[in-house]
């Protein structure tokens, strides 16, 4: 143990309070200067050292003991993007005068914030948190240090406990897209081609054994020798499977495709960010219509969610989207299993490899209506540090265009994702019209 450590240990108080280097200098100067002034008969040296000695004696006389604490109130596990408020409770113990604590600055996101100097007796502190980026993250870590009189005695610094939340992907209001006619056993909002009990007229035909009397169309029957009944379309719900390609996360700069992105769940504005936001918005729209919506991770099938209905299903899907993005990474062979027969499969991918195209084509061959949503950023920029950057970008663009055309030849609708989802809704409306091509 060095001499400085022994001196510091000698001035350590109860509860972890310790003397600072300023305390040692105050004692040294408060004793040395008056002694030197007396030996040299210099009054100014005595007057110069007296304040240091008084400060050191005052700090020594004040009762500073106990263990001060800073406690952050628990945060909700999940939250919506935007602002939130929490509290920090301060217990200064006895003798503490100042508190230096790290708190987020108002209006900032993704930063633990600067250090604030506050009175130790300030009581509960209201902290405003703001995070727009979805995913997991640390919102608050209250690193702190307590100081006694004149800052000569301190407790800490103490690294606070990290408090974070899972910010769910935002849900944008999308136009309701019509789904292909298919009966799934439950009553929903989509029209099927089979007769049923909806309010939309399908046909007027002659009365048959087993028809209900309330279906008789008396206006037509009075003009005909036989009775006629009204036949309506049946209403059914639909199964929607959102197939998310988490193997690639591509931004607008091609030079960044081979580098990581520490500190975030996904690249802001990248392909994975766009795919997650689109999946959350589509899930909310179809669940609002009463459809069953499920999730499939093409890279990690074990992270999928079975189709379900209701608000709880939407919360489950949004949470699972964060889990899928957290586990995102390259997988050589994407797979899509356990898709209900006749379901609408929405594949969200940048389509930069042939394997994901094969998955979409196989789903279409099994009888599902497949919608391919291209989430590759439209404003790609080449690598400017290499002479072949422009050529590489041109090759990437042409190969992706070839894959999209190949899917169209197999009857798969291909649309780019826009913020409002109008292109997806328009494609699904065309899909609901019999005898009309779906491919775009």
Residues 336 and 301: their CA atoms lie apart, in Å, by 7
DSSP characters over 173-227: --PPPPPPP---SS--SEEEEEEEEEEEEEEEEE--TT--GGGB-HHHHTTSSS-
**CB 95, CB 44: distance < 8 Å:** no
pLDDT digits (tens, 9 = 90+) for 181-201: 343 443 444 444 445 454 557
pLDDT computed for residue 169 by the predictor: 94
| CB neighbour list of residue 296: distance below 8 Å, 6 or more residues apart | 241, 242, 243, 244, 304, 336, 337, 338, 339
Summarize the confidence of residues 307-317 as an average pLDDT: 93
Same fold, 69-167 and 239-431: no
Summarize the confidence of residues 425-437 as an average pLDDT: 57
**Helix residue spans in 327-353 (DSSP H):** none
Residues 203 and 222: their CA atoms lie apart, in Å, by 17
How close are the terminal C-alpha atoms of the chain, in Å? 77
- Ordered by start, the domain boundaries in the chain are 3-61, 69-167, 190-236, 239-431
pLDDT at 214 over 90: no
pLDDT digits (tens, 9 = 90+) for 223-275: 888 888 888 654 445 789 999 999 999 999 988 887 766 555 678 889 999 99
**CB 343, CB 239: distance < 8 Å:** yes
pLDDT computed for residue 319 by the predictor: 95
What is the pairing mode between strands 292-297 and 18-19? unpaired
Of the candidates 270, 95, 72, the one whose C-alpha atom is nearest the C-alpha of residue 261 is 270
DSSP characters over 29-82: HHHHHHHHHHHHT-HHHHHHHHHHHHHHHHHHHS--BS--EEEEPPPPSEE-SE
pLDDT at 295 over 90: yes
pLDDT at 180 over 50: no
Q: Is pTM, for the whole model, over 0.85?
A: no
**CB 160, CB 102: distance < 8 Å:** yes
pLDDT above 70 covers what percent of the chain?
Answer: 81
Reduced to 3 states, what is the DSSP secondary structure of residue 302?
helix
CATH class entry, domain 239-431: alpha beta
**CB 278, CB 404: distance < 8 Å:** no
pLDDT computed for residue 21 by the predictor: 82
Summarize the confidence of residues 126-132 as an average pLDDT: 87
Q: What count of Cα atoms within 13 Å lies in the side-chain half-sphere of residue 18? A: 14
The tokens for 397 are: 């663009």
| Candidate from 104-118, 317-331, 351-365 with smallest mean pLDDT | 104-118
Homologous superfamily of domain range 69-167: Immunoglobulins (2.60.40.10)
pLDDT at 111 over 90: no
**CB 127, CB 104: distance < 8 Å:** yes
The tokens for 167 are: 């910010």
Residues 115 and 16: their CA atoms lie apart, in Å, by 21
pLDDT computed for residue 273 by the predictor: 93
pLDDT at 359 over 50: yes
Residues 60 and 317: their CA atoms lie apart, in Å, by 60
pLDDT at 23 over 90: no
Q: pLDDT tier at 108 (50, 70, 90 boundaries)?
A: low
pLDDT digits (tens, 9 = 90+) for 38-68: 888 888 888 888 888 787 777 777 777 788 8
Q: pLDDT tier at 7 (50, 70, 90 boundaries)?
A: very low
């Amino acid at each position: 143990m060095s001499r400085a450590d022994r001196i510091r240990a000698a001035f350590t108080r109860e509860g972890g309070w310790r003397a600072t280097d300023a305390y040692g200098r105050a004692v040294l100067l408060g004793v040395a200067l008056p002694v030197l002034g007396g030996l040299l008969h210099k009054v100014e040296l005595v007057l110069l050292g007296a304040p240091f000695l008084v400060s050191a004696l005052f700090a020594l006389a004040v009762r500073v003991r106990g263990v001060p604490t800073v406690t952050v109130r628990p945060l909700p596990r999940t939250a919506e993007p935007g602002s939130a408020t929490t509290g920090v409770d301060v217990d200064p113990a006895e003798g503490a005068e100042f508190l230096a604590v790290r708190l987020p600055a108002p209006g900032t996101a993704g930063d633990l914030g600067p250090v604030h100097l506050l009175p130790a007796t300030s009581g509960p502190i209201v902290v405003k948190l703001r995070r727009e980026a979805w995913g997991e993250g640390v919102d608050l870590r209250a690193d702190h240090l307590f100081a006694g009189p004149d800052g000569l005695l301190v407790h800490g610094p103490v690294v606070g406990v990290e408090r974070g939340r899972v910010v769910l992907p935002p849900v944008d209001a999308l136009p309701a897209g019509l789904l292909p006619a298919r009966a799934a056993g439950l009553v929903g909002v989509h029209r099927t081609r089979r007769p049923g009990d909806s309010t939309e007229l399908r046909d007027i035909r002659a009365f048959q054994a087993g028809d209900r009397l309330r279906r008789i169309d008396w206006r037509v029957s009075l003009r005909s020798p036989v009775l006629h009944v009204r036949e309506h379309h049946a209403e059914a719900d639909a199964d929607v499977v959102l197939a998310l390609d988490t193997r690639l996360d591509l931004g607008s700069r091609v030079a960044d495709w081979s580098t990581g992105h520490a500190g975030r769940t996904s690249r802001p504005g990248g392909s994975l960010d766009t795919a997650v936001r689109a999946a959350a918005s589509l899930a909310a729209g179809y669940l609002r219509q009463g459809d069953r919506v499920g999730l499939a991770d093409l890279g990690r099938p074990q992270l999928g969610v079975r189709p379900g209905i209701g608000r709880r299903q939407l919360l489950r899907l949004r949470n699972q989207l964060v889990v899928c993005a957290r586990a995102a990474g390259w997988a050589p062979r994407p797979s899509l299993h356990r898709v209900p027969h006749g379901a609408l499969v929405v594949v969200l991918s940048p389509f930069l490899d042939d394997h994901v195209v094969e998955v979409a084509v196989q789903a279409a061959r099994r009888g599902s209506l497949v919608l391919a949503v291209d989430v590759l950023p439209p404003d790609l920029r080449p690598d400017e540090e290499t002479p072949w950057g422009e050529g590489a970008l041109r090759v990437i663009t042409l190969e992706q265009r070839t894959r999209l055309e190949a899917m169209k030849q197999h009857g798969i609708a291909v649309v780019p994702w826009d913020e409002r989802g109008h292109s997806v809704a328009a494609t699904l409306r065309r899909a609901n019209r019999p005898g009309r091509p779906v491919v775009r």
